[in-house]
Amino acid sequence: MVLRVHLPDGRRAFRSTGQRDRKKASDVCRTLERTREKARAGELSRSAARKLFDNLLENIGENPLSRETASSFFASWLAGKQIAVKPGVYKIYRKTVTKFLSHLGDKALKSLNDITLGDIAAFRDFRLKTEGVSTGTFILDLKALRCAFNLAKRQGLLLHSPADSLEMPSVCRIEREVFTNAEIRALLSAADQEWRLLILSGYYLGTRISDAAALRWDHVDLVRKLVHYTQAKTGANVVVPIHEELEKELLKLASNDNPRSYLCPSLSKIPVGGRTGLSSQFFRLMETAGVDRQIVQAAKRRFSKKSYHALRHSFASALANAGVSADIRMRLSGHKTFDIHQRYSHFELESLRAGITALPPLGT
C-alpha cells in the first residue's frame, strides 16, 4: 500500500509502506505521523524515535531494533579481530576500544544505536587535547572505530556509522633524525655485549627494537651469512644479508648449541615500554654515551627525535646514500609500500647482499 506524504519543499508525493495488509499499513502511517508531530514539536529524541519504531515493528510482526550495548558489540568485534588480524594490529584495536569505552562511561552499557557523531568528536578532543596523542595516533583510533561501526552497519545493527562523518585531522609529522657514525660508535663503546648486538642489529638489519630483542640463533645462517625473521608489527618476512661488522659480533657468541636460544637472552625477557623497558634503557645508554636525544614538544607530549628507532632510519638512509635502489631498500627494510619507505629515507639475494655490503663499516 502507498502513503501520500508532504515533501520539505511543499510538494506532495506517494511512498510505499512496504505492507500489503491494510492494518499493518495503517500502523506504519500512524507511526510516521506521530514521528512527524514530535519532530515539529522538537520532542523527537533518539530514544523516543526508537520507542516509536520498536512498537511499530512489534505490531507488524518484525524484530525490534537492536538493543545490543556498545560494550558487548565491541567485545564481540575484538574477539573476531583477534583471530583475523596480526597481533600488532589487534593490540592497536584493543587499546582504541578500551579508551573509547572508558570515555563513553555509562553510555557504553547502553544501546550501540545511542552513540552519536558528538561522542566520536568528544573522544577525538579527549585524545588530542587532554591526552596529547599525535594526530597520527588518533587517525589509527578513528580507522579502528570506523571498521567496527561499519561492521555493525553491515550486520543491520546500525543504519549508519557515526564515525564516518568525522573529518580526519591533518597530520603534522615530526621527522626523526638519524645517528651519525660517530654517535653509533659512542653508543657501542658505552654498551655491554647484548646491547652492542642490539645496536648493530638496528643499524645493519634495520630491526625495530622488539624484533632485535626477539632474534634467536635459528634466525641466523652464518654459513650463507643471512638473517631471516618475521616482523612483529607487519608480519613481513624479512631476509637480510649479514654485514661484516655484525658478523664479527655474532661470531663472538656463536658457541651456543641451542638454536632456539636468544641472541640476547637477558634483553629478550624485558618489555619494550615502561620505565625499565628496552626503550628507556636505550635512552639511558644514549645519555651515558653523550648522544643528544633532541627532545621536542609536540602538543602535550615530549618527543625524542633520536631513539632506538632512529637506527632503523639510519639504516634506510645509509642505504640510500650508498646509492642502493629504492626497491632493494624496501625489501631489506621490510616496507610494504613506497610511501612508507619514503618517510624513512632521508636523502634476488645477490642484489640484497650488494646493498648491505654498500653500508660503511663503523670502525669499532
Tens digit of pLDDT per residue, the chain (364 long)?
Answer: 444 545 455 555 444 445 566 665 566 556 666 666 665 666 545 555 555 556 655 565 555 555 688 999 999 999 999 998 888 889 899 999 999 999 999 999 988 888 999 999 999 989 888 887 778 788 889 999 999 999 988 887 877 889 988 877 665 555 667 888 899 999 999 999 999 999 999 988 889 999 999 999 999 988 888 888 888 877 788 888 888 889 999 988 866 678 889 999 999 999 998 889 999 999 999 999 998 877 666 555 666 778 888 888 888 787 777 777 777 777 777 755 555 445 545 545 666 677 777 777 776 5
- Is 107 part of a structural domain of the chain? yes
pLDDT of residue 129: 83
Report helix, strand or coil for 22.
Answer: helix
Q: Are residues 97 and 150 in the same domain?
A: yes
CA torsion 129-131-135-138 (nearest 10°) is: -120
- Is 85 part of a structural domain of the chain? yes
| Number of domain units in the chain | 3
Strands 2-6 and 301-304: unpaired
Strands 295-298 and 301-304: antiparallel
Report helix, strand or coil for 307.
Answer: coil
Maximal C-alpha separation, the chain: 90
CA distances from 120 to 150, 162, 191 (A): 14, 7, 46
Give dist(CA 290, CA 279) in Å, integer. Answer: 17
Report helix, strand or coil for 122.
Answer: helix
Question: What is the helix (H) or strand (E) element at residue 4, kind and residue range?
Answer: strand 2-6
CA distances from 258 to 62, 104, 261, 269, 354 (A): 64, 50, 6, 17, 31
Dihedral sign computed on CA atoms, order 265, 271, 272, 273: negative
Determine if residue 194 is left, alpha or beta; phi over 0 gives left, psi from -120 to 50 gives alpha, anything else beta. Answer: alpha
Strands 237-241 and 295-298: unpaired
CB 196 within 8 A of CB 188: yes
- Is 168 part of a structural domain of the chain? no
> What is the number of other CB atoms lying within 10 angstroms of the CB of residue 278?
22
Q: Are residues 147 and 212 in the same domain?
A: no
- Is 14 part of a structural domain of the chain? yes
Q: Are residues 316 and 285 in the same domain?
A: yes
Q: Are residues 195 and 269 in the same domain?
A: yes
pLDDT of residue 122: 93
Q: Are residues 324 and 249 in the same domain?
A: yes
Q: Are residues 111 and 36 in the same domain?
A: no
- Is 202 part of a structural domain of the chain? yes
Question: Containing domain of residue 126, as a range?
Answer: 70-154
- Is 242 part of a structural domain of the chain? yes
CB 231 within 8 A of CB 350: no
Last residue of a domain, one of 13, 35, 59: 59
